[in-house]
Amino acid sequence: MANQARKPIPYGLASYKRIREENCYYLDKTNYIPLLEETGKFLFFIRPRRFGKSSLLTVLESYYDINRQEQFEFLFKGTYIYDQPTSEKNSYLILKLNFSQIDPHLDKVEASFEEYLEETVLLFGQKYRQFLGDDYFEMMRLKKTVYGKVRFLLNYVGRIDHKIYILIDEYDNFANTILTTAGQVAYQKLTHGAGFFRFFFNVLKGAADSMDSGVGRMFITGVSPVTMDDVTSGFNIGQQISLHPQFNQLLGFAETDVMTMLEYYGLETTDLLPVMRSWYDNYRFAAETKQTMFNTDMVLYFVKNYLRQNALPEEMIDQNVRIDYGKLRHLIVLDRRLNGNFSQLLSILSGQSRSPVRVVQSFPVERLTKPDNFISLLFYFGLLSYTETGELQIPNETVRQLMYSYIREGYQDVDVFNVDLWRLAELVYRMAYHGEWQAVFQFLASAVQQQTAIRDYLYGEKVIQTFLLAYLSVTDYYIIHTEAEFGKGFVDLYMEPFFGKHADVAYSYLIELKYLSRAETTDQALTEALAEAKTQLQQYATDSRIVKRSLGSQLIKVALIFSGWELCEFTHV
């Protein structure tokens, strides 16, 4: 297939109609439409950012809109639903809302919300004028508030024997922003008691419950269950389907989908698929499912960039998938101190938090920082995902790198630790290309010596291990494995060269870390710890996977011995 004949990649394009008009590459998910209909009338679906939620809503809008009957063939020919349509095809008036359009500034948010609703109601009337009688517009003019207009719209449509499909995209967008920028009190004014956002959902629920309701179906998407719990007192407005196994693949790419796409664009799957697996795969949204999913945006970003430059992207992480640190800041920082949730991040990154955890379906904001709820929130954000055995772990290298950055920014945010990352990156470069590993650890040890506040946080081997991980990852010369099983043991740190991106990295590293408390530190204890580290390193180095992955580089084995926070021994074995 000639390059010019290949379909454009719809990176950054959410509109299904435009995807069809521009003949873009499209992964058909319309086989889920009948299943969604069978599951319930009012559905609530959470997925991490950039997983294709907005695009899904435009598919539903295109399929159900009564005004698009004549466009059905153009929009859906070649898809599953074209050959097997449901009885509800093109049978709804669509009321679509996107709350990312609301100004989240605390002094403007309510006015912005009401203005947006006014505009939506106005455009709805113009779009469906042929189905609405003249009395609709006359009676609408008598309504004094926008909430009254929404209520009237929903009830009137039911009276004329039509039904509305309500689609709400990014329902929690402005509420989350207010929570992270203005705090919990300001957020609760929106979502509790007489808050305008809570009242809006009360209007929807009241209309849905009425005998002659015009609300036929509702589909709501977001990134967190917190706001829905707060505005509806716990999901009584609909059914939370985010954790249902049958919807695990509703969004995202399965590995077979990625292979098909790579082959379509003439790309080599043998070389590229392992890289994409490592960086973009391993999302499971139900403990019972075996199928892992790739992030939609990450796949499109990678393929588009690879086609443009015939090489891996300069930045493996698309900036669009980054969750703003501010959205996590209020969870791990309290009164300029790092709270218990920061320790949770450290445990997760060090591989200690792997036991089976039940992801909770909902919890109010005041319980957000409870450990189980915090872990659940990380799951919904896509920072954790189920393993095949029902445990939770970081899904891929992209998320791991994001988590490392949260650790670094957390230390910096509370003035605990701040280093020159440019200088550190230069030292890691020399570590990678010239084997000058000592300078990296001397630099970090010296910074800890000078910045005494960090010492309160460096206790125990796992915490120090995670501290090192967070700072060794400032560059992408290496894929860093921690607690990986090699040579019948679990290596503390294996710095595997990222040859796919940096083919000329000259050195790889096995690092064994030993920790002694101040009270335990004696000459004999240091000698024994060093001897044990050397034995373990020699054992790890014989593993055939280490030999294969390090091939083309010189493998250096390093023992680090800590006494409390102090690095008292670092040796090339």
Q: What is the pLDDT of residues 360-370, one digit of tens each?
A: 887 777 777 67
State pLDDT tens for residues 254-270: 999 999 999 999 999 99
Does residue 429 have a pLDDT over 50? yes
The CATH code that applies to domain 13-242 is 3.40.50
| Cα–Cα dist 351/462, whole Å | 9
Q: How many CA atoms lie within 13 A of 265 on its CB side?
A: 24
Q: What's the rounded mean pLDDT across residues 528-540?
A: 94
Q: Are 25 and 261 in contact (CB under 8 A)?
A: yes
Does residue 499 have a pLDDT over 90? yes
Confidence at residue 2, expressed as pLDDT on a 0 to 100 scale: 41
Does residue 164 have a pLDDT over 90? yes
Could you give the C-alpha distances from 448 to 273, 416, 472, 569, in angstroms and in order? 40, 10, 15, 15
Tell me the three state secondary structure of residue 512: strand
340-349 vs 397-413: helix crossing angle, rounded to 10: 150
Q: How many CB atoms lie within 10 A of CB 456?
A: 10
Confidence at residue 117, expressed as pLDDT on a 0 to 100 scale: 97
| Cα–Cα dist 520/478, whole Å | 34
| Cα–Cα dist 430/444, whole Å | 15
| Cα–Cα dist 50/449, whole Å | 41
Query: pLDDT confidence of 278, banded at 50, 70, 90?
Result: very high
Q: What six digits make up the tokens of 448?
A: 């800890």
What residues does each domain of the chain span? 13-242, 255-313, 322-415, 417-573
Q: Are 283 and 294 in contact (CB under 8 A)?
A: yes
Query: 290-322 burial by CB neighbour count: b if 16+ within 10 A, else e?
Result: ebbbbbbbbbbbbbbbbeeeeebbeebbbeebe
322-415 is a CATH 1.10.10 domain: yes
Does residue 1 have a pLDDT over 50? no
Short-list 461, 570, 464, CA closest to 520: 461
Tell me the three state secondary structure of residue 108: coil
Q: How many CB atoms lie within 10 A of CB 101?
A: 16
Q: What's the rounded mean pLDDT across residues 210-230?
A: 88
Does residue 347 have a pLDDT over 90? no
In the numeric block, the tokens 């309290």 are attached to 334
Q: H helices of 542-572, where?
A: 544-550
Does residue 353 have a pLDDT over 60? no
| Cα–Cα dist 394/378, whole Å | 10
Angle, alpha carbons 364-368-374 (nearest 5°): 130
73-77, 135-139, 364-368, 512-516: segment of lowest average pLDDT: 364-368
Highest mean pLDDT among 339-343, 453-457, 550-554: 550-554
